[in-house]
Amino acid sequence: MSKQHDASDDGGIPAAVAPAKRPPLNKYALACAVLASMNSIVLGYDVSVMSGAQLFMKRDLKIGDTKIEILAGIINIFSLVGSLAAGRTSDWIGRRYTMVLAAATFFAGALIMGLAPGYGILMLGRFVAGVGVGYALMIAPVYTAEVAPTSARGLLTSFPEVFINTGLLLGYVSNYAFHGLPVHLGWRVMFLVGAVPPFFLALGVLAMPESPRWLVMQGRIGDARRAEERLADIKKAIGIPDGVGDNDDDEVVVVDRRNKQGSHGEGVWRDLLIRPTPPVRRILIACLGLQFFQQASGIDSVVLYSPRVFEKAGLTSDENSLGATMAVGASKTLFILVATFFLDRVGRRPLLLTSAGGMVVSLVTLASALHAIDRLPEGHATPLAGVSIAAVLTFVASFSIGMGPIAWVYSSEIFPLRLRAQGCALGTAMNRIMSGAITMSFISLYKAITLAGSFYLYAGIAAAGWIFMFFFLPETRGRSLEDTEKLFGGGDHGEDKEDGHDGQKKSTELSSSQP
């Protein structure tokens, strides 16, 4: 006979128990998750295509490493505009139309970059594309988490990362496919190809339903009736009493009693940053810490600058270095499937800890090989070149089985519903800040402390991330979205049981959690 207990019983990290029998995968939720996540293909493409395009832009536009470094990494800083706006935007206009907005900005950004006559217009194109990156990174996991059943939430919420990696691979393939074109034309075609998918993706997203949890948050109970299985829990999380909204055409006005707040995201920043409850504070630290370590361990430096790493290892021709870079994309994409299919079976914590451990070992191996290459005469480091390439492939594979997808899965499922969109926006902002800092400093960093020194530094950060995850992140497998707050010491919020009736229009008040 098994016993279940929570953190209050043993003082440890609470364990979540998966359902004894896995229900069949909901094909409707699967289709929604796939469509929502496909914006991420363009996101991945826009990031990785720069790794090969920069080789030809440097020759065509006669720009130095400093400008290349800024151009490559600035998209992550620009994405802060989209990620910070996405939370409020998605609370206001809905998850679905926010995804359409992301696709539109991707389309415009790709056109501007591909047709840019010089560095200044290229920077404008990176800004527009960066806004799209911010929107897509935040909204796809949130929407997917809100439509996914608990038993398959890990699988479906990892889809955005699967499609990001697919886009990364396509970017590398584009680099290789068009590297033989004239220098002034090749990099432009690489960018312009990225304008094609967003148009069709926007049309596909318009055919999707809105998130039922967002509909309930707006008080549109009748529209959310398709979520019948979880409807009672969702209403409880919002503060709508039992019995209210039981008719299909019912509409409920959700109002915050203490501050007269509606359901479009007003007052959320106060509850997240100024006067958070202890559980919310811990949730926020978990989200921000996980997003920090995901990027600070150097993954985007490898994605963007792997041709330079392979050149250092001895692959001097464009064809060889871009071919090896395609192998990086293939490895990263292949191993993301491990996380996709094991998230709901093994759990979040085991995959995260295995991932971070593998990243540490791979980074130490890569740094040691590059350090040894520096000490050998030119042309005598062929075996070590193979070790370097293998270490890069192992590093991206380790990232893909845990840190890559689970940072987004975990962040999207731990926040209370009213705080979820803007809480995830803060996590996305942290992710983009760190990605921008890493990619915009990598060339300068390795010129100052060598490539080997840079990867030793990233290994130390990844090791610190392992410690953080071991001690701070509880398991969320098998928990409903409305139940995960309890893992961080939260519980049911006070609810106002009063409601009034005016025909089929009803109103209720939502009590904010007390600080």
* Domains of the chain, first to last: 26-254 (1.20.1250.20), 275-490 (1.20.1250.20)
Q: How far apart are CA 383 and CA 381, in angstroms?
A: 6
E-state strands within 57-177: none
Per residue of the chain (515 residues), give pLDDT as tens: 444 444 444 445 545 444 445 555 566 667 777 777 777 888 888 888 888 888 888 888 888 888 888 888 888 888 888 877 887 888 888 888 888 898 899 999 999 999 999 899 999 999 999 898 888 877 877 787 777 776 677 677 777 778 888 888 898 889 888 988 898 888 999 999 999 888 888 888 887 777 777 787 777 777 666 554 444 554 555 455 555 544 544 554 444 433 444 445 557 778 888 888 898 999 999 999 999 999 999 998 888 888 888 888 777 777 777 788 888 888 888 898 888 888 888 888 999 999 999 999 999 999 999 998 888 776 665 778 889 989 999 999 999 999 988 998 898 888 887 888 788 888 988 988 898 899 888 988 998 999 999 999 999 999 999 999 999 999 988 887 667 778 887 655 433 333 334 433 333 333 333 33
506 CB-contact burial (10 Å; exposed 0-12 / middle 13-18 / buried 19+): buried
Nearest to 32 by CA among 129, 134, 152: 152
- Paired sense of beta strands 499-502 and 251-256, if any: unpaired
Tokens of 170: 């396509």
Backbone φ/ψ region at 437: left (φ over 0), alpha (ψ -120 to 50), beta: alpha
Which is nearest to 242 in space by CA: 510, 497, 481?
497
Structure tokens at 448: 């100052």
Q: Which residue has the tokens 């209050």?
A: 8
| Structure token digits, residue 375 | 């000490």
Contact 405, 340 (CB under 8 A): yes
**Using H for helix, E for strand and C for coil, what is the string for 62-73?**
CCCHHHHHHHHH
* Region of 398 on the Ramachandran plot (φ > 0 left; ψ -120 to 50 alpha; else beta): alpha
C-alpha 143 chain-centroid distance: 12
Q: In the prediction, which pLDDT does 260 show?
A: 40
Which residues neighbour 392 within 8 Å (Cβ) at sequence distance 6 or greater?
Answer: 302, 306, 309, 310, 328, 362, 366
Is the backbone of residue 251 left (phi > 0), alpha (psi -120 to 50) or beta?
Answer: beta
Residue 245 near residue 252 (C-beta atoms within 8 A):
yes
CB atoms within 10 A of CB 370: 26
Give the CA distances from residue 211 to residues 59, 93, 148, 450, in Å, rounded to whole numbers and listed in that order.
47, 11, 10, 48
Q: What is the pLDDT of residue 417?
A: 78
User: What is the pTM assigned to this prediction?
Assistant: 0.68
Q: What is the DSSP letter of 500?
A: E
DSSP string for residues in 348-410:
HHHHHHHHHHHHHHHHHHHHHHHHHHHTSPTT--HHHHHHHHHHHHHHHHHHHTTHHHHHHHH
Q: What SS3 state is found at 508?
A: strand
Cβ atoms of 325 and 306 within 8 Å: the answer is yes
Helix (H) or strand (E) holding 111: helix 95-115
Q: Please report the pLDDT score of residue 266 as a whole number.
A: 56
Radius of gyration of the chain (CA): 23
